[in-house]
Amino acid sequence: MFAEFCVFLGNLVSINVSGCRKLSNSALFAILRNSPLLSEIRMESTGIGIGSIPWLDLVIYHQLKSLHLADNSYLRDEVIYMFAFMFPNMQLLDLSSCCGISEDIISEVLKKCPKIQRLNLAFCPQPKLQQLDLERCYGITEKGVRLLVENCTHLREINLRYCCELSTNFVAWMIFSRPSLRKRMAPPHFRACDDDGKLLFRRCLVC
């Protein structure tokens, strides 16, 4: 019945079917086949991940920018990889509380979807980011890096070379706020004062 309903959704740009537990992989492909203008899909707390994947329907949807898939316990790496292939222009991906995905697939997603600006992995026990290279990401802000440092509790190395929007005080805050950090490549303008510098270098290799 849902597949038949989707036939009438040709002009849809956003859909929210969160909480519909019986909607699975087939429902997602029914939406995509019939709604070529979609830029946002919300399928939180559904049955996405259940059922076969219609490989003949694996086409690229350049217009899709936001994919909300929080609290989907059936999601696995192969399905996430498929989404990364199909939606290369994604800017937002919410996988919070998706316990079946691994840290390896997150790396693949970031490679295939370079435009991602918001990635939510809250309450995912497997993805434990340890290394992050942000060199030459000129537009990255202190707000974005602060969220990263606060949420990535296993982060050990971060490269911030040529990230000129980050202040010296913020770089020092980052080291003290994330004890797991052991190596940090600083922006070119970073200069710690003598007392602070000694303390920073004891806690984290700064280069």
pLDDT (tens digit per residue) in 127-139? 777 788 888 888 8
Provide the pLDDT for residue 57. 67
Q: Where in the chain is the domain with CATH 3.80.10.10?
A: 1-127
- Give the pLDDT confidence score for residue 7 in this predicted structure: 93
For residue 205, pLDDT over 60 is answered with: no
| Helices and strands: H and E segment counts in the chain | 7, 9
pTM, whole model, 2 decimals? Answer: 0.69
Distance (Å, whole) CA 24 – CA 69: 12
**CATH code of the domain occupying 1-127:** 3.80.10.10
Beta-sheet pairing, 118-120 with 131-133: unpaired
Residue 48, pLDDT > 90, answer yes
Round the average pLDDT of the chain to a whole number and report it: 83
Asked whether residue 25 carries a pLDDT value surpassing 70, the answer given is yes
Which pLDDT does position 137 carry in this prediction? 80
| Cα angle for residues 63, 44, 86 (degrees, 5° grid) | 30
Max CA distance (Å), the chain? 70
Residue 188: per-residue pLDDT: 56
- φ, ψ for residue 163, nearest 5 deg: -95, 85
pLDDT for position 199: 47
Q: What are the tens digits of pLDDT across the range 51-105?
A: 988 776 689 999 999 999 999 999 999 999 999 999 999 999 999 999 899 888 8
Looking at residue 183, what is its pLDDT? 63
Tokens coding 131: 């290394």
pLDDT score of 203 more than 60: no
Q: Is the pLDDT of residue 193 over 60?
A: no
